[in-house]
Structure 1
Amino acid sequence: MVRKPAAKPAKKPELPNGPLDRHLRSYTGYNVKRASNIMQSNAARALEPLGLRITTFSALCVIVDNPDVTQSQLAAALNMERSNTVLIIDALEEANLIGRFRVPTDRRSYALRATLAGIKRRDAASRALAEAEEDRLANLSQQERAQLIELLGRIDPLD
């Protein structure tokens, strides 16, 4: 398969003194949000042909990697409200990518397990997402990418 080079975005408007948002670019949070918007749009484009959204892909990854994870554990892993994960789980189950099974020791809980189709879809989506990220991160070395992930992981969450 021949990959086309990523299209270059239109040049952003600038003033004689630099980018219009030059003051904002001194804030870490602003830069993280800008990068997040770029990466999320990129991921959404990569996952859409596979019938997945970022949230459904994320949930599917956790379920594939952790057979019999409960809905509550999934919600905690994705840092989401449990009620919001129900919609995601319903979508994955409707697409026959996962199954939901009662936990014998807790009748209120469901264990989630990926189907073979779910595992294959996750793997295909992972490849598509890796390719899409490669395009966006082409200006960073492998070491810089690893460092970026490590640094972002060190940001202290609000408790």
Structure 2
Amino acid sequence: MNDLPDSPFAAGLDAGLREFVGYTMKRATSAVTADAARVLEPMGLRITTFSALSVICHSPGVRQTELAAALGMERSNSVAVIDKLEKAGWIARERKSTDRRAIALRPTTVGLARQKQARLALLAHEDRLFAGLTAAERRDLVKLLSKIEV
């Protein structure tokens, strides 16, 4: 018979790990991303596709390699994400006039609207999740996390 509780985390069995910043960040990241995925799913987006769409909307004409670098992903993985966005009608690929080998990515009108809708939904999601933090604490948290470089 199993004497363990259903959730070892609820029982505090991970208390010895809570001193580690990385462990606590992993737990927080899991909670935030799971809820963000739930928010984005009805809009046909995942966290990665939303991120790519946002970069393209804010930097029209960005090249595929630049997008991959900005998101810290392998170029081959970024192609699949770009394909999904293009198939949904949210972005368009076009050849750059200065370099025919380079592909520029541009948002469509529908893509701009979808990104705005998803952005607002994610802001509301973060307001719910981080309701226990003041606006200054949220800014400080972002600032501190931004200092972490690999």
Which residue of 1 is the match for residue 103 of structure 2?
Answer: 110
Q: What is the alpha-carbon distance in structure 1 between the residues aligned to residue 102 and residue 112 of structure 2? A: 23
Q: What is the alpha-carbon distance in structure 1 between the residues aligned to residue 139 and residue 38 of structure 2? A: 23
Summarize deviations over 1:24-66 as a string: whole Å, max 9, x none. Answer: 1000000111111011001101101111000000000000000
Structure 1 letter corresponding to 2:148 = I
Further displaced range: 69-78 or 99-108:
99-108
Q: What is the alpha-carbon distance in structure 2 between the residues aligned to residue 61 and residue 156 of structure 1? A: 22
Answer whether contact 1:99 1:112 (CA < 8 A) is retained: yes
Q: Could you list the runs of 5+ residues in structure 1 that have no partner in the other structure?
A: 1-9
Summarize deviations over 1:68-88 as a string: whole Å, max 9, x none. Answer: 000000001001011100000
Query: How many pairs align?
Result: 144
Structure with greater strand share of residues = 1
Structure 2 letter corresponding to 1:85 = S
Q: What is the alpha-carbon distance in structure 1 between the residues aligned to residue 57 and residue 89 of structure 2? A: 13
**What value does the CA root-mean-square deviation take over the aligned residues?**
1.4
Give the TM-score taking structure 1 as reference length.
0.87
- How high is the sequence identity, in percent, across the aligned residues? 50
Q: CA deviation at 1:107?
A: 2.2
Q: CA deviation at 1:121?
A: 0.2
1:35 aligns with 2:28: yes
Which one of 9, 13, 22 corresponds to residue 10 of structure 2? 13
1:45 aligns with 2:38: yes
Q: Could you list the runs of 5+ residues in structure 2 that have no partner in the other structure?
A: 1-6
1:124 aligns with 2:117: yes
